Structure 1
């Protein structure tokens, strides 16, 4: 079925990685894409790619750590296409470090993007969805939301938060207001994330993990599956990992 056709879809962190792959995939299914990221060059290229493939997309430079930025992105969606049907909370940071390193700046950045960024997205779309008793909210989580790995303690903590937040949201606004709420939780994905980690033992762990990574397009397929459902169906979680990922 074509439940994504003409769906007004806001996605954060759209300029690269899982966000870009998902944007292309959803646009190919007929969704009208509204793309947010801090990387304007990446957004421009993505919009051009979608347009050239026959899809529809607009963008706005968006820092998800600021609520007003996310609200402006939603306002762009509404003024261009209409009320937001789908939110994909995707913008995130994966910065590895050991606790003993006290990488407080990295901890704060992950809290701001991975937690506040998702909360801001929900706050921006929820009033309209509640009023219409319709909408889809999909949070990109991680297998780290099930299991904390070496040098990834704070990152995993942010993803455990998303697990709890999504479950609460599903029970509170899904069950009573008809909003479809769910998660896609990737394993090791080839997005270049290890090279954002500071040099040291934690970076070695990240690079070693990345050797088994699969492409973001695999996650994009799961995103499309989770969203392309009739209004009565919520996909609570899809986990996508490399075949040889043993955790």
Structure 2
């Protein structure tokens, strides 16, 4: 049985990395995917390639920090495919640096994208899910949301917040709506290139030599979606076997 086929899945941060890989994988499994991100040329290319393989996809240029644009992405899915079954709040940034570097603008950007972006996704989809008495939130957290290391303090704070928000959401929405936290470790993505702090960036490039492919996260999302409606996979932690923390 394939519980993915026929479902409509909204994905933020879908123009590259984990979001792109997840969109492609779910489309292969029969889902209709609604792609959102700022880089519209990437979205157009990905959607075209999915459709060329017989999949169903649409896209919209949007920014997760703008609630109206997130609502528009959800509305786009309903307009094109008639419903929304899943929203994957995937968009995130990781400009790591020591606190002493005082990169306050980057702190604010992480809060806006990593925390407010998830909340905007919830705000956009929750009324629809409640009205149809079904739905599935999948929120991307991080190993950094379980353990804080020097240089990742603010990023970790945002991912601790995602886990708290997700668990609270699960407790509030009741029996009809599912909530999953996906917690990646070292996974190949553009996140590793986000640091403007030279020493931190060099360290990250070294650490990410152990990263595993983004398809690992796509398969985790598919696993959670594929479960029967009464099975709620609340958290999946995926990391390389060599990663200790």
TM-score range, shorter chain: over 0.9
**In the aligned structure 2, how far is the partner of 1:14 from the partner of 1:194?**
17
**In the aligned structure 2, how far is the partner of 1:111 from the partner of 1:197?**
15
Q: Which residue of 1 aligns with 2:12?
A: 12
* Cα distance, 1:200 vs structure 2: 2.1
Q: Which residue of 2 aligns with 1:160?
A: 160
Instruction: Give yes or no for the alignment of 1:85 onto 2:116.
Output: no
Tell me, yes or no, if the aligned pair for 1:65 and 1:117 is still in contact at 8 Å.
yes
**In the aligned structure 1, how far is the partner of 2:193 from the partner of 2:73?**
29
Instruction: Give yes or no for the alignment of 1:148 onto 2:172.
Output: no
| Pairing 1:49-64 to 2, within 5 Å after superposition | 49-64=49-64
Instruction: Give yes or no for the alignment of 1:28 onto 2:21.
Output: no
**In the aligned structure 2, how far is the partner of 1:91 from the partner of 1:193?**
10
Moved over 6 A (4+): none
Gaps of 5+ in 2: none
Tell me, yes or no, if the aligned pair for 1:130 and 1:177 is still in contact at 8 Å.
no
Q: Which residue of 2 aligns with 1:229?
A: 227
Q: How many residues align?
A: 245
Q: Which residue of 2 aligns with 1:246?
A: 244
Per-residue CA distance 1:31-63 (angstroms, 9 max, x = gap): 111100001111011101111111000000010
Q: Which residue of 2 aligns with 1:211?
A: 209
Mean alpha-carbon deviation: is it higher for 16-25 or for 77-86? 77-86
Normalised to the residue count of structure 1, the TM-score between the two structures is 0.97
Q: Could you say what secondary structure the match of 1:2 adopts?
A: coil
**In the aligned structure 1, how far is the partner of 2:190 from the partner of 2:67?**
27
Q: Which residue of 1 aligns with 2:2?
A: 2
Q: Could you say what secondary structure the match of 1:211 adopts?
A: helix
Gaps of 5+ in 1: none
| Pairing 1:106-145 to 2, within 5 Å after superposition | 106-145=106-145
Tell me, yes or no, if the aligned pair for 2:96 and 2:197 is still in contact at 8 Å.
no
Tell me, yes or no, if the aligned pair for 1:151 and 1:205 is still in contact at 8 Å.
no
